[in-house]
Structure 1
Amino acid sequence: MSEENTTESLFDAPPMAEQERMVEAILFASATPMTRRQIEARLPHGCDVSEALAHVKRRYEGRGVQLMRAGEGYAFRTSADLGFLMQKESVETRKLSRAAIETLAIIAYHQPTTRSEIEEIRGVSVSSGTIDMLLELEWIKLGRRRMTPGRPVTFIVTQHFLDHFGMESAKDLPGVKELRDAGLLDNRPAPGAIPGVLPDADRGDVPDPEDDQEDMFE
């Protein structure tokens, strides 16, 4: 074999079956979802990440775990029909207050939203403790500052929040009709209901901000 051919073989991408195994190993060992770019950075030069991911996804179809999209990344997740087996492990022992639930719902459906906007919708002030608890749970995070006087920070839900409730993006949040069909909302507003917590039923345009936080503290 010539020196030229030997050099080329050293940089040839491994067979697809081996690429599939490599991607599987990378995702299995990662504690958080990984993007295509992150996976590609760990693979030998010339690997086809998209094709390898497709192979892994097909291999796990119908299994106890499946390869799923998680935001911009990929991760192994328990199959939806087996979620009941994880019930004990997934129970949140920290009970959220009514104020925290209302605040979280407003942020999810109106993000990015400021503290004053949350207070306007709820009709009462929001305590720092409520915001701090949601930040500590990593269900919300700071978004871009508003280009308004004082440049107030905004709040948005996190990928951790979406993962917890089995959603790929905020666009997967149920609409008013879905909540009513599930018996979670009455057909008529309940006394004392919070106006504006949910978008209009026909809008179907729940915001899904992918805000960078690079200018958060400018």
Structure 2
Amino acid sequence: MTMAGPAAAKPSRRKANAADERLFDRELEDLPPELRWREWMLRVEAVIFASAEPVGRETLARVVGKECSIDLLIDDLVEELRDRPYDLVSVAGGWQHRTRVRFGETIRASSAPTRGGAAALSEFEAMVLMAVGYFQPITRGDLSKIFGKEISRDTIAALRGAGFLTSGPRSPRPGAPYTYVTTQHFLSAFGMETLRDLPNIEALEDAGLLSKNYLQLSDIPIVSEDDADADGVEFGSAPEPLD
């Protein structure tokens, strides 16, 4: 006599998900067009509101009809929120609710705990993170050259622990040291769609924060997003750590 074990007694997760998809009515064909559109809007807003990270197009497409335009839905939601203290913004390859800037002081004064956003960084950690953002993929040694002093492993570990940095491709230099790149969380936390939203380097020079002349005289490769794409490095992404 064959006994069915616990694994056999329960349907696989894949089968359960497939069953859920069959039961979930995306098309809402029984509703009039206006009510159908309104329901799709509410679904999209609910998913974005519930998510701790920006929600991408593929995720939203799972809860609306096949012929539904995500972009038009988002436009209608943005218009509907126009008089609210928060907005629906495009960030890090998806959409997320963000409090409007003018209410920032109010929220700080309330001392209420907030979700998401950027972790509290020291001024120096923020400077190191900014340098990685501009010159990634970059090694710890090259970061040390930029700042004129050693960048400790603890500083890198703190930025990795906060979810802002991850390992990039190995450097082609002797010893193949690790490089570091920013993550999608970095873009999300600082409200950027891509790294092209970083402040202009010339503006940072004027503020005395970075010296492009020094960087050009050094052997630090200043990589553009186009160069990185050609080399297979995805800026602002979170590649798997290398062994």
Relative to the length of structure 1, the TM-score reads: 0.71
Q: Contact 1:36 / 1:49 at 8 angstroms: preserved in 2?
A: yes
| CA-atom RMSD in angstroms | 3.7
1:98-134 CA-to-partner distances (Å, cap 9, x unmatched) read 3x34422321221121222212323332211111111
* Amino acid in the other structure paired with 2:158: M
Distance of aligned partners of 1:39 and 1:145 in 2 relative to their CA distance in 1, 3 Å threshold: farther
Q: Contact 1:121 / 1:194 at 8 angstroms: preserved in 2?
A: no
Aligned to 1:3: none
Distance of aligned partners of 1:73 and 1:93 in 2 relative to their CA distance in 1, 3 Å threshold: closer
Aligned to 2:63: 42
Aligned to 1:6: none
Greater mean deviation of Cα atoms: 109-118 or 70-79: 109-118
Aligned to 1:107: 132
Identity of aligned residues (%): 26
* Amino acid in the other structure paired with 1:37: E
- Inter-partner Cα distance in structure 2 for 1:194 and 1:102: 18
Q: Contact 2:168 / 2:242 at 8 angstroms: preserved in 1?
A: no
1:185 aligns with 2:205: no
- Inter-partner Cα distance in structure 2 for 1:73 and 1:82: 23
Distance of aligned partners of 1:94 and 1:48 in 2 relative to their CA distance in 1, 3 Å threshold: closer
* Amino acid in the other structure paired with 1:185: G
Distance of aligned partners of 1:61 and 1:132 in 2 relative to their CA distance in 1, 3 Å threshold: same
- Inter-partner Cα distance in structure 1 for 2:172 and 2:235: 16
Residue 32 (structure 1) shift: 1.2
1:160 aligns with 2:180: no
State which of 207, 215, 231 in structure 2 corresponds to 1:196. 215
- Inter-partner Cα distance in structure 2 for 1:51 and 1:61: 16
State which of 68, 81, 95 in structure 2 corresponds to 1:60. 81
- Inter-partner Cα distance in structure 2 for 1:147 and 1:210: 21
1:168-188 CA-to-partner distances (Å, cap 9, x unmatched) read 32222222443477xx439xx
Relative to the length of structure 2, the TM-score reads: 0.65
Residue 34 (structure 1) shift: 0.7
Q: Contact 2:57 / 2:70 at 8 angstroms: preserved in 1?
A: yes
1:84 aligns with 2:105: yes
Q: Which runs of 5+ in 1 are unaligned?
A: 1-8, 198-202
1:33 aligns with 2:54: yes
Greater mean deviation of Cα atoms: 125-134 or 10-19: 10-19
Q: Which runs of 5+ in 2 are unaligned?
A: 1-24, 217-221, 229-233
Q: Contact 1:12 / 1:45 at 8 angstroms: preserved in 2?
A: no
2:95 aligns to what SS in structure 1?
strand
1:31-84 CA-to-partner distances (Å, cap 9, x unmatched) read 111100011123355433222222212211242111101111111111122222
Distance of aligned partners of 1:149 and 1:213 in 2 relative to their CA distance in 1, 3 Å threshold: farther
State which of 180, 183, 199 in structure 2 corresponds to 1:174. 199
Aligned to 1:209: 235
* Amino acid in the other structure paired with 2:148: G
Q: Contact 1:139 / 1:157 at 8 angstroms: preserved in 2?
A: yes
1:156-215 CA-to-partner distances (Å, cap 9, x unmatched) read 22333333333332222222443477xx439xx7xxx99439xxxxx9x6788145625x
